[in-house]
Amino acid sequence: MHVSRIACGLAAALAVTAFSLPAAAQTRIEVQGGRSYMDDHGTNAFFIESVFNPYPLGNTRFTWAPDVSLGYIEGRKIGRFVGSHPGVTDDVLLAAAGARFHYGSAGDWYQPFFFSFQVAGQTGRTQALSTAYEFVSTLGWQYRNFSFQVRHISNGGFTKPNRGETMALVGVGFDL
């Protein structure tokens, strides 16, 4: 099943809403693409992510920033899953929101590394992403206009099947 027009419209509305948040805040927009794997079967994955103004986390050297993203993971054709429910052929559109965490000051060599955690809602159901909600964990590196991240998306084992999607993404970003 392909992503419906209604789902695309809802995703576009979410993206417009996310991008129209207060312009006074420092905002980073990233366009990311790469390969996602369920077991050893790859497919294409694309994301648009907005990371907003960072805030200190108490009196620590950690900072956190609100983080929203819109993602697309292509369906697959895998013979052993023909007839299974859910299958693997659905294209999945995700909308996620959470926080991105950094450690250290702007001049520290390790400050460009980050961890983010988001909760996502989605269209489509697959062996990898089988529920209406998913958890998105990302470990990455961002520097100036480039980023690299390893991302895992799954339902945390709350519902079977829970194969999850694990992906490597490269991003190009710019600050507004």
Which CATH number applies to 5-175: 3.20.140.10, 3.40.980.10, 2.40.160.20, 3.30.565.10?
2.40.160.20
User: What pLDDT is stored for residue 31 in this prediction?
Assistant: 98
Q: CA 176 to CA 72: how far, in whole Å?
A: 24
For the segment 129-136, the average pLDDT, to the nearest whole number, is 92
Q: Which string of b and e fits 80-118 if b means at least 16 CB within 10 Å?
A: ebeeeebbbbbbbbbbbbbbbbbeeeeeeeebbbbebeb
User: What pLDDT is stored for residue 4 in this prediction?
Assistant: 53
User: What pLDDT is stored for residue 83 in this prediction?
Assistant: 80
Which 3 state secondary structure label does DSSP give 56? strand
pLDDT in tens, 6-16: 455 555 544 54
pTM over 0.85: no
pLDDT in tens, 138-155: 999 998 899 999 999 999
Q: Which string of b and e fits 33-60 if b means at least 16 CB within 10 Å?
A: ebebbbeebebebebbbbbbebeeeeee
Question: pLDDT tier at 79 (50, 70, 90 boundaries)?
Answer: confident
Question: pLDDT tier at 91 (50, 70, 90 boundaries)?
Answer: very high
User: What pLDDT is stored for residue 54 in this prediction?
Assistant: 94
Question: pLDDT tier at 96 (50, 70, 90 boundaries)?
Answer: very high
User: What pLDDT is stored for residue 1 in this prediction?
Assistant: 47
Q: CA 145 to CA 162: how far, in whole Å?
A: 34
User: What pLDDT is stored for residue 92 in this prediction?
Assistant: 94
CB under 8 Å to 56, separation ≥6 — which residues? 62, 63
Compute how many other C-beta atoms are within 10 angstroms of the C-beta atom of residue 137: 17
For the segment 62-72, the average pLDDT, to the nearest whole number, is 97
Domain boundaries, the chain: 5-175
Does residue 96 contact residue 73 with C-beta atoms inside 8 Å? Answer: no
pLDDT in tens, 2-41: 455 545 555 554 454 454 454 446 899 999 999 999 988 9
User: What pLDDT is stored for residue 26 in this prediction?
Assistant: 84
